[in-house]
Amino acid sequence: MGYRIDCLQYANWSEKIFRQMRDGGVDAVHVTIAYHETFREMVLQVERWNRYFERFPELIMKARTAADIDRAKAEGRTAIFFGFQNPSPIEDDIGLVEICHDLGARFMQLTYNNQSLLATGCYEEDDTGLTRMGRQVVAEMNRVGLVVDMSHSAERSTLEAIEHSSRPIAITHANPGFWHPALRNKSDTVLRALAETGGMLGFSLYPHHLRGKTDCTLESFCRMIADTAEMMGVERLGVGTDLCQDQPDSVVEWMRVGRWTKEIDYGEGSASNAGFPPMPDWFQDNRDFGNIESGLRAVGFAEAEVAGVMGGNWYRFFAESFGPQ
């Protein structure tokens, strides 16, 4: 049996969810440990995860390399990789890039929805591309093995990151704009550039990114993957569910607002739907990865291609990306 790897979750972590990961045969998960956190606040999240590893050693383990996934799989555990959805933890100090990698971070988005010190987020009106600091930080991320993630970034910034990075980048959780025109979903231009440079796209299950939102069908989702495979090549595709299981709506406020405004930013939702939308009925939690596998087979993917999308492609990317250059 191949790998099952989810390249983005931000759940309200608990023993229940860790057991669901095992029930779903999930071998590795990239978990968000920072949105708007400073460096010290991010360290508190590392401490929190260290306690999870201590309390549930039979279910989860901290992972730093692709080989750790093999160890976790052999021992019946789920490998946990850390990532940031904003560069806030490095503050304005390029030296913190290496320290964050030393602490276990393996992905860092150059932006969340707003302009950062490094690049432009997808909700800004003007996209000025990578900043001077952004170019320096990308080079440092390349050096230490911290993956550049442009999931929430605007078009020009994303294309410049792909061009400037000496290593393939990732868009860990987004979908093609040709299927559903959410602000966060990516243009054909971005997807082609990503594929041509060896990058990876993780398909998102977050309803605001789906055609039909909560009512999106499994067939529609899997046909979208098939259409994207024709454009990018199936070896460039994986899953990044953006699963936010069991989170209170106050967490949506932190994700979107942080400390940058006194007003509520509804992002991809609306005032009447400011919380987390319900997930599609065919993907409620980590136990449902088998449904995606079945859906991929139903739209014509061969077994080797299914294995790649479900985790094999991420495994290869992890093996090539997490060490120093």
pLDDT (tens digit per residue) in 253-279: 888 899 999 998 766 554 445 678 999
Q: In the prediction, which pLDDT does 275 show?
A: 74
Residues in the chain: 325
- The residue type at 11: A
Sequence-distant (6+) residues with CB within 8 A of 13 are: 31, 52
* Superfamily (CATH H level) for 89-320: Metal-dependent hydrolases (3.20.20.140)
Instruction: Give the count of alpha carbons within 13 A of 246, CB side only.
Output: 11
Q: Which residues of the chain have pLDDT under 70?
A: 266-274
- Rounded CA gap, 27 and 279, in Å? 22
- Rounded CA gap, 230 and 109, in Å? 26
- Rounded CA gap, 194 and 196, in Å? 6
pLDDT tens per residue across span 298-325: 999 999 999 999 999 999 999 999 999 8
Between CA 116 and CA 125, with CA 119 as vertex, the angle to 5 degrees is 85
Q: In the prediction, which pLDDT does 273 show?
A: 52
Q: In the prediction, which pLDDT does 252 show?
A: 84
- Domain range list for the chain: 89-320
241-260 core/surface letters (b: 16 or more CB in 10 A; e: else): bbbbbebeeebbeebbbbee
pTM of the model: 0.96
Distances (CA, A) of 197 to 116, 165, 229, 271: 24, 10, 15, 39
What are the structure tokens assigned to 277, written together? 């939308």
Closest CA to 257 of 28, 35, 62, 31: 35
